[in-house]
């Protein structure tokens, strides 16, 4: 699980990739639509999508010439579970200090 967390947090360490994930929470989007909001060359943007796909945060399907990207919830749940455990631990420690 730690390795998966490392991969997910690593993928989300970049602001471009976080923006893509945030955009995909509104629903699937074509690569061209996702790219429109970013001031970078398409090949550079595609590298960001590749990192997200390799981390499991997104998947894509191709129909004709259009590639559509979808968010994947499972890695986000793993990250959320870890964050909740950390929050609970620190809140407990802070409560004991008070």
- pLDDT of 66 reads 96
Question: Which of these, 64, 43, 60, 63, lies nearest to 52 by C-alpha position?
Answer: 60
Task: Record the pTM.
Answer: 0.83
Whether the pLDDT of residue 1 is over 70: the answer is no
Residue 35: which of 13, 64, 63, 68 has the closest Cα? 68
User: Alpha-carbon distance 86 to 60, whole Å?
Assistant: 32
pLDDT of residue 2: 60
25-83, pLDDT tens digit by residue? 999 999 999 999 899 999 999 999 999 999 999 999 999 999 999 999 999 898 899 99
């Amino acid at each position: 699980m730690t390795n998966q967390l490392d991969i997910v947090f690593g993928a989300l360490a970049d602001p471009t990739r976080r923006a893509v994930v945030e955009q995909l929470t509104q629903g699937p989007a074509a690569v061209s639509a996702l790219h429109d909001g970013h001031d970078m060359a398409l090949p550079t943007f595609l590298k960001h999508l590749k990192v997200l796909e390799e981390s499991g945060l997104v998947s894509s399907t191709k129909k004709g010439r259009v590639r559509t990207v979808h968010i994947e919830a499972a890695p986000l749940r793993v990250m959320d579970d870890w964050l909740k455990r950390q929050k609970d631990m620190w809140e407990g420690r802070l409560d004991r200090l008070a």
